[in-house]
Amino acid sequence: MGCICEVFIKIISMFLICYGLKTNALTDDFHSFCSGGPITSNTYQSNLNVLLSSLTNSFNETIVRNGYYNDTAGRKPNAAYGMYQCRGYITLEECRYGVESAAKEVLLRCPNIKQAIITYKELVVLKFSDQLFFSIMQEKPLFTLPNAKSVTNPDEFNPQFDRLANDLVSEVASNGVSSSTSSSTNKRLFATRSIDVTRSQKIYGLAQCTSDLSVSNCTQCLRGEIDDVGKRFRGRIGARVICMSCFFRYELYPLYLPDTTSPPFSSPMIPPSTKTKRKISLKVLFSIIVPSVIVVLSIIVFLYFCKRKKVAKKID
């Protein structure tokens, strides 16, 4: 009896997981950038396939430290280099899911292309290339996604924003320095912080570089992103800036707790992907109602099934 129940619960949860994956794939959670021209070598193509599966399988074999992993498949001149970086606050499971999604999506968005960068919900950034790029800072392409709204108290807000941004950069640097004794190519270049603006207003910030950057290059990368926000979108109630090597984000709510949902932002200033997340309410609706109906129906069927089984036993 217990065994049947277990199997049944497994079937239900598998169904729900599949449903979840499907609805996720419908939204535009990715930003990508293809470069380097078409692939002309079959050897590179097969090295690239090996590389991408090495990235997605890294969770089985390696201890993924600081959400970072890199690998090389094959040899020059056909070597494929690849890496991913997950945000410092997400779980390993979320990281794995993000890397798998990104690795799949990048092949659809950059088919037969030598080099590509893709981000998944800005939680994961993944890159592959036919050129060695580890430890090299790459600030372009830069995706700046500002919130469309501005604060109503810029005179109070802006100085505190500057303070928060500076503190974050310093903290990332000091985390990087203190973690680099263990492994100089896998640093903890991540920090979160908050600052009070008024009694009821607080800014929450997050900054991170890929773990293979030098501390000085990381600092430079983050300053570039913060400058971009400060120059073009000063006083917005939130923004995120994603490039290959670093990530900066701030909001008026605690954004670094896992599972925070983000408010809609105005369309990205820089290519590609101009879709905003207007479909989200529909998606949320579906992802709540449909599974609920499935669960309720399943329970009814299950109870019916169990009852019949009992009756059958009694008859035996």
Ligand X SMILES: *[C@@H]1O[C@H](CO)[C@@H](O)[C@H](O)[C@H]1NC(C)=O
User: Quick check: 60 binds ligand X (CB under 6 A)?
Assistant: yes
User: Using CB under 6 A, which of 46, 180, 214, 287 touches ligand X?
Assistant: 214
Identify the helix (H) or strand (E) that includes residue 250.
Answer: strand 246-251
Give the residue with the Cβ less far from ligand X, 85 or 298.
85
The stretch near ligand X (CB under 6 A) out of 2-10, 162-170, 195-203, 208-216 is 208-216
User: Quick check: 62 binds ligand X (CB under 6 A)?
Assistant: no
121 — alpha (psi -120 to 50), left (phi > 0) or beta? Answer: left
- Best CA proximity match to 209, nearest among 311, 139, 264, 261: 139
Contact 27, 277 (CB under 8 A): yes
Structure tokens at 28: 């535009």
CA 244 to chain CA centroid, Å, is: 12
User: Quick check: 245 binds ligand X (CB under 6 A)?
Assistant: no
Cα angle 102, 106, 111; round to 5: 165
Considering only residues 166-185, where is the footprint of ligand X by CB under 6 A? 185
Nearest approach, Cβ of residue 296 and ligand X (Å):
30
Nearest approach, Cβ of residue 303 and ligand X (Å):
32
Mapped onto helix, strand or coil, the DSSP state of residue 35 is strand
Considering only residues 71-90, where is the footprint of ligand X by CB under 6 A? 71-72
User: Quick check: 27 binds ligand X (CB under 6 A)?
Assistant: no
For 128, half-sphere exposure in the C-beta direction (CA atoms, 13 angstrom radius) is 30
CA distance 235 to 238: 8
User: Quick check: 212 binds ligand X (CB under 6 A)?
Assistant: yes
Contact 83, 69 (CB under 8 A): yes
Give the residue with the Cβ less far from ligand X, 164 or 189.
189
Nearest approach, Cβ of residue 143 and ligand X (Å):
19
The stretch near ligand X (CB under 6 A) out of 5-13, 31-39, 132-140, 142-150 is 132-140
User: Quick check: 137 binds ligand X (CB under 6 A)?
Assistant: yes
The site for ligand X (CB under 6 A) is made up of: 57, 60, 70-72, 134-137, 185, 212, 214, 216-217
